[in-house]
Structure 1
Amino acid sequence: MSDAENTLKNGEIDPFRRPAELSDDGDVNSTHKEDVLSLEHTDPVLHAKMHLINNAIDEIGFTGYQTKLFILNGFGYAVDSLVLLIQSVIASKAALEFHPSYDTALTIAAYCGMLAGALFWGMSADIIGRKFAFNFSLIFCSVFAIVAGASPSWPVLGTFIALCSFGAGGNLVLDTAVFLEYLPSKQQWLLTLMAAWWGVGQLIAGLFAWAFIPNFSCQDPTIFPDAAPCTRGINWGWRYVWFASGALVFVMSIARVSVIRLKETPKYLIGEGKDAEVVETLQEIATKYNRPCSLTLASLEACGIIDSQVRRNSVAHASKRASLAEIGLHLRGLFTTRRIGTSTAMIWFSWTLIGLAYPLYTVLLPKYLESRGAAVGTTSEYIQWRNYAIINMCGIFGPIPAGFMCETRLGRKYTMVIGALTTMVFLFAYTQVRTAAQNLGFNCAINFCLNIYYGTLYAYTPEVLPSAHRGTGNGFAVGFNRVMGILSAIIAEEADPRTAVPIYICAALYVVMALVAALFPFEPRGSRSS
C-alpha cells in the first residue's frame, strides 16, 4: 500500500493507518513516524501531503545541503545576539560623549527594532515565503550597523540601532523555520544545537568590546576625577565595535546568497498548492547528493486538492495576500483546535517570561559588574571586559548537552525544565559572590544553563507550530519577548544596579518557566514537525 493510500481513504485521514515500523536496532523507522500535529489538522489533504514530504525528506536523509543551512541559518542566530549585546556594552561609552538624559534609550531602541522585525519578517514568511527574508534581512542589518558607528548624536545612534535591529529581528523566526523544514526527523535535535550560534554572537560581541573599548575610549569621570572631557576624537572604541560588527554581518549576508541558492521550502510550497515545485526541489537535492527520493507528482496529486488551492476555507491564505484578513487567518490558524491553541498560548507566555528575565539580567550585568568591581578585585576595565568575553563564550556550550538531552526520555519539555531550574539555582547563588573567581565562575554557569533552556525553547517553538502559520506564530512569540525586553530596559533605568533584587526577580521567573515547560501539551521527541 502506498503512503498516500495508507494515509488517506476517500480524502480523509485513515484511522487504521499502519503503526510505526521498527528497524533492526529497535528504533522507530523515521519514514513511518507520526507527525507531531497529525491529529490536529483540519485539512486532511494537506496533512497527507505533509506526511509524504516528511517521508521524502527522511528518505533523502542528512546531506551537505542541511550542513550549509546549519551554518548559514546559524549566522542569523549569532547576529541577533550580537546586535542586542553590542548596544548594551557600548551604551556607557557613547553616553560619556553624548550626555543623554535617558541612559537605557539604546536598549529600548534595539528592542523596538527587534519587535518590528520579528512581526514583519515572521508574517512575511507565511505570506510571501521564507526565501525573501533569508536573503535580505542580514544585508539590511549590516548596512545600519556600519552607519550606527558614524552617529553624531544619541538620538541618531538610537535610530540606526533600531533600524539595524529591525533587520536582525526576523532571524530567530526564519532561521528555525527554514532549517526545520528541510531537516530529516532523525536530526531534528540539531535545531536545539543550532542555538549554540547564539553564544557565538555573544562571544563576538564580548571580544569586540574587549579589543576596542578599553583601548580607545574616554575615562569615566565618576571613576577618574582627573579624566579629560570626552570628545569624539578620543572615544572611537564604541564606534570601532559597530564598524567591525557591521562588516562581519555584511560578510555573513554575502555568504547566504553565494554559498547556497536557497529554494523556497517544500512545506511552504505545498501550502501554496505548488506540488510540482515541491517534487522538483526535493528531487534536485536527492540527485545532487546521490540519495534516493521516491516522491512523485502523481503521489502528491493522488492525495487530492488542499483548500488553499480552491480558496475555500483555506488553511494557508486568504483571498488577498496583502490584507488584514490574511494576518487574521494566520493568527486563527494558531488556535484551530483547543490543544494547538493551548500550546500556542503557553509558548507565547514562555517567550514573554524569558523576554523579561534574560534582558533584565544582561542589561544590568555590566553595571552590576562595575558596582562590584572593587569588592571582587576586578578594578581594571581590561579585566572586566576580558571576563565578559569569557562569560559569553560559555553560552556557546549550553545547547550542546541540550541537543542530546532532548533526544533522551527527558524530551524537549523536561530538558527545558532542567535548564530553567539550574539557571534559577545559580542566579540565587550569584547574590553571594564575594571574590573575582566566584564572580566569573557563577556568571559562566548561568550563561551555560540559561542556554540549555533558551536553545531548547528556540527549537521547540517551530516544531509544534502548524507549518502554514509557523512564521506568524514564531514571530509573535519573539515579538512578546521583545516587548518584555523594552520593559526590562525601563526597569533597569529605575532599578539600583548595586542591589541583588533584579537577580532574585530573574531567578523567580525561571521557576515559572520550568513549570510551564512541564505542562506543554506536545512533546516532539519521536515525532516529525508538520
Structure 2
Amino acid sequence: MQTSSKTGNEHEKAQQQRDVEEQETRRDDVSLGPGEILQLEHTDAVLDAKMHLVNNAIDQIGFTSYHWQLFVLNGFGYAVDSLILLIQSIVAAQAALEFHPGYPNGLTIAAYVGMLVGALFWGMTADIVGRKIAFNVSLVVCSVFAIGAGASPRWEVLGLFICLSSFGAGGNLVLDTAVFLEFLPSKRQNMLTLMAAWWGIGQLIAGFLAWGFLPNFSCQDPAFFPDAAPCTKANNQGWRYVWYTSGSLVFVMSILRITVIQLKETPKFLVGEGRDAECVETLQFIADKYKRQCSLTLEKMQACGTTDTRALQGKSKWGLGSVWAHCKGLYSTRRMGISTTLIWLSWTLIGLAYPLFNVFLPAYLSSRGAAFGQPSQYMTWRNYTLANFSGIWGPVLAGWMCGTRLGRKYTMAMGALVTMVFFFAYTQVRTADQNVAFTCVINFCLNIYYGTLYAYTPEVLPSAHRGTGNGIAIGWNRIMGIVSAVIATVADTGTAVPIYICAALYVLMAGIAVVFPFEPYGRRSS
C-alpha cells in the first residue's frame, strides 16, 4: 500500500510539473532567450517557470548603462579582494622588521581567516536577507578596518585589523558576481568572466602602492644592508602609507556603490522569496528608466503558481534549518550534487596554488633579484607591478573565449594547462629579463582559469542557494590559503618547490574542468 501511495504521489507531482510547464509556455509570449542551465533538473516546477519569465524579461530589457555601472562598481569588489590579500603580503616583511614577530606569516593567516568567515557569513546572509544589504555593508566594513591597519601599534593589532578588513572584502567578493549575474541579459553573460579583469586591477593598484611608498619610506633590511639603522615607526612609514591609501580608496568606492548604483534587490532573489510583485516592479522600473520594453506582469507570474518558500528556507528563515536548507538545495539532484562538489574541489585546489605563487611572489622575486644582482626594493616592486599589470588581460581573453564554442569548461582547461607549462618553464629562468617575462606570462595565463572559475560558479548554482554555494566555495579557497601560509612557514618560498606544486595542481584543475556536468555557453542562469 505504501509503495502504491508513493507511486501515485510521484505521478501526481510529475503531472503537476507538466501542467505548469505547458501553462508557462502558453502564457510566455516573449520567449527571447535560450533555455536555462538547470531547466532539466526539475527541482521546483513553479520556480523554474517563474525564472524563465524573469529571464525573458531581463533579455527583453537588454543591456543598459545600469549594467555598466554594476560592471564597474561590482568589479571594484574583485579589485578590493585581491588588493587586501596582496597588500598584507607586501607589507609583511617591512612590518616584521619593525615589530619583530614570533610568527612572520601570521598576517597571511589573519587575512585568510577573515576572508573565510566573511565568505561564509555574507554568502549565507545574502540568501537569507537578500543581496542588497550585504552588498552595501561589506565594503564599508573592509575600508574602515583597512585604514585602521595603518595605525597599528603592534604586530597582533595589525593582524586583527587585517582579519576584520578581510572579513568585509571576502564577503563582498561573494556578492559581486551574484548581483551582476542576476541583472545580466543572457547574451552578455560572458561579461561575468570579463569582470574578473578587475582582480588584476586590484593587484596592479597594490603593486603601484608598493612601488611608490616602500622604496622611499622604509627602513633597510639588515640581511641585505649590515650597516642599516634600527627599524622604527619613524623611519618605516611606507607600509602604513600603503594601508592608509588603499583603505581610503576602498572607502570612496563603497560610498559610490551606495550613492551611484542605489541597488534594488535582485529580481531572482525576490522570486525565490515569493515576492513576485516586487520582482515585477524592479524590472519595470529599470525598463521605464532606460526606455526599454518589458512585458512581464504580476498576472503572468501568479499564473505559474505559488513558490514554496518553506522548501528554500527551512522551518525558520533565521535558524540553522535555513542554512541547512540552502546547503541541501545545492544537492537537489544528482547532477547538481556532482557539479557542486567539483566546483568546491576546484576552489580548494586553486586556493592552494594561487597563494603559493602570487601571495609569496614578492619573496620569490626578491630571492631571484638577489641572485641576479638586483637586491633593490625598487626593482623588486617594479617587477611585481609589471606582473600584476599582465594579470589584468587574462580575464579579458577568457571573456572572449567563453563567448565562443569553447565555452566555460574548455576555457578553464586550456588556461590551466598553459599555466602549467609556463610554471615548469619558470623553474629554468636564468636571467633577470627572463624572470620578469615569465612572471608576467604566468600571471596572464593563470587568470584565464581563475577568472572563468569565478564566473562559472554562480552561473551553474541555483539562484535561491547561490550565495550559500558561492560562499562555501570561496570558503574552501580561504582554508587552503591558511594551509599555504603554514607551508610557507616550514618551507622556503624563495626556492622553486612551490612552483612545481602549483604546476601539478593546475594539471588536476584542468581535468576537473573538463568533467563539469554543466556548460553555461548558450544557456541562461537560473
Normalising by structure 1, what TM-score?
0.94
**C-alpha separation between the residues in 2 aligned to 1:434 and 1:355?**
29
Q: Which segment drifts farther, 193-202 or 366-375? A: 366-375
Are 2:411 and 1:421 equivalent residues in the alignment? no
From 450, 457, 470, the counterpart of 2:466: 470
Give the CA deviation at 1:366: 1.2
* 2:159 is aligned with 1:151: no
Does the CA-based 8 Å contact 2:87-2:206 persist in structure 1?
yes
Q: Which residue among 509, 513, 520 is the counterpart of 1:524?
A: 520
CA distance in 2, matches of 1:60, 1:353: 39
Q: Give the Cα–Cα distance (whole angstroms) in 2 for the partners of residues 462 and 32 of structure 1.
A: 19
Q: Quote the residue 1:503 is aligned against.
A: 499
Alignment partners' CA distance in 2, 1:206 and 1:464: 33
- The 5 Å alignment of 1:3-14 reads 11-14=19-22
Q: Secondary structure at the match of 1:39?
A: helix
User: Aligned runs of 1:225-236 on 2, under 5 Å?
Assistant: 225-236=226-237
Q: Structure 1 8/526 Cα, relative in aligned 2: closer, same or farther at 3 Å?
A: farther
Aligned residue for 2:114? Answer: 113
Equivalent residue number for residue 122 of structure 1: 123
User: For residues 228-286 of structure 1, what are the alpha-carbon distances to aligned partners after superposition, in whole Å with 9 as ceiling and x for unaligned?
Assistant: 11111000000000000000000000000010110000000011111111111000100
Which one of the candidate residues 316, 323, 326 is aligned to 1:320? 316
Who is 2:12 aligned against? none
Cα separation, 2, equivalents of 1:433 and 1:517: 29
Q: Which residue in 2 is equivalent to 1:3?
A: none
CA pair 303-240 structure 1, distance change in 2 beyond 3 A: same
For 1:84 and 1:274, the matched residues in 2 are separated by: 38
Q: Does 1:175 align with 2:176?
A: yes
CA contact (8 A) 2:85 2:359 kept: no
**For 1:477-497, what per-residue CA distance to the aligned partner results, in whole angstroms no more than 9, with x for missing partners?**
000000000000000111112
Q: Distance in 1 between matches of 2:405 and 2:23?
A: 27
Provide the residue aligned with 1:213 in structure 2: 214
The structure richer in helix per residue is 2
CA contact (8 A) 1:30 1:185 kept: no
Measured after TM superposition, the shift of residue 379 of structure 1 is 2.6
Quote how far apart the aligned CAs of 1:156 are.
Answer: 0.5
Aligned partner of 1:25 in structure 2 is none
Does residue 135 in structure 1 map to residue 131 in structure 2? no
Q: Does 1:306 align with 2:314?
A: no
2:172, 2:67 → 1: CA distance?
17
In structure 2, the residue matched to 1:395 is: 391
CA-to-partner distance for each residue in 1:119-169, whole Å, 9 max, x for gaps?
Answer: 000000000000011111111000000000000000110000000000000
Is residue 351 from structure 1 mapped to residue 347 from structure 2 by the alignment?
yes
- Give the conservation status (yes or no) of the 8 Å contact 2:409–2:519: yes
Please state if 1:297 is matched with 2:293: no
Q: SS where residue 217 of structure 2 aligns?
A: coil
Q: Which position in structure 1 is the counterpart of 2:257?
A: 256
Would you say the 8 A contact 1:123–1:475 is kept in 2? yes
Deviation at 1:11, TM superposition (A): 4.2
When structure 1 is superposed on structure 2, of 359-368 and 208-217 the one drifting more is: 359-368
Partner secondary structure for residue 169 of structure 1 = helix
Go from structure 1 to structure 2 and tell me whether the alpha carbon gap of 1:17 and 1:322 turns closer, same or farther (over 3 Å shift): closer
Tell me the CA shift for residue 16 of structure 1: 12
* Structure 2 partner of 1:24: none
Matched, 1:75 2:76: yes
SS at match of 1:233: coil
**1:117–1:169 CA contact under 8 A, matched in 2:** yes
1:319 positional shift: 2.6
* Residue type at the aligned position of 1:369: L
The residue type equivalent to 1:256 in the other structure is R
Give the aligned partner of residue 186 of structure 1: 187
The whole-number CA distance in structure 1 between the counterparts of 2:258 and 2:77 is 13
Given that 1:8 and 1:14 are in contact with CA atoms closer than 8 Å, whether structure 2 keeps it comes out as no
Letter in 2 for 1:90: V
| 1:227 alignment partner AA | A
Q: Which amino acid in the other structure matches residue 212 of structure 1?
A: F
Displacement, 1:364? 2.5
Closer/same/farther in 2, CA of residues 69 and 30 from structure 1, 3 Å limit: farther
Describe the shift of the 1:48–1:383 C-alpha distance in structure 2 as closer, same or farther (beyond 3 A): same
CA distance in 1, matches of 2:495, 2:80: 31
Query: Which residue of the partner structure matches residue 7 of structure 2?
Result: none
Helix, strand or coil at the partner of 1:259: helix
Q: How many Å separate the matches in 2 of 1:66 and 1:395?
A: 24
Q: Is the 8 A contact 2:89 2:360 kept in 1?
A: no
SS at match of 1:12: helix
Letter matched to residue 13 of structure 1:
E
Deviation of the 1:41 alpha carbon: 3.0
- CA offsets per residue over residues 418-448 of structure 1, 9 Å max, x none? 1101111111100011111100000000000
Q: Is the 8 A contact 2:314 2:325 kept in 1?
A: yes
Gaps of 5+ in 1: 1-6, 22-28
SS at structure 2 position matched to 1:225: coil
Map 1:82-101 to 2 at 5 A.
82-101=83-102
Determine the C-alpha separation between the residues in 1 that align with 2:64 and 2:24. 33
State the shift of 1:205 in Å.
0.3
Aligned to 1:515: 511
Shift in Å, 1:375 = 2.6
**Per-residue deviation at 1:15?**
11
Give 1:378 deviation, angstroms. Answer: 2.2
Contact 1:149/1:238 (CA < 8 Å) preserved in 2? yes
Give the structure 1 partner of residue 223 of structure 2: 222
* 1:203 matches 2:204: yes
| 1:262 match: secondary structure | coil
The alignment partner of 2:123 has SS state of: helix
CA RMSD of aligned residues (A): 1.7
Give the partner amino acid of 1:99. H
Measure, in 2, the Cα distance between the counterparts of 1:264 and 1:17.
Answer: 27
Alignment partner for residue 406 of structure 1, among 384, 388, 402?
Answer: 402
CA distance in 2 between partners of 1:519 and 1:166 (Å): 33
CA contact (8 A) 1:376 1:439 kept: no
Q: List alignment gaps of at least 5 residues for structure 2.
A: 1-14
**AA paired with 1:484?**
M
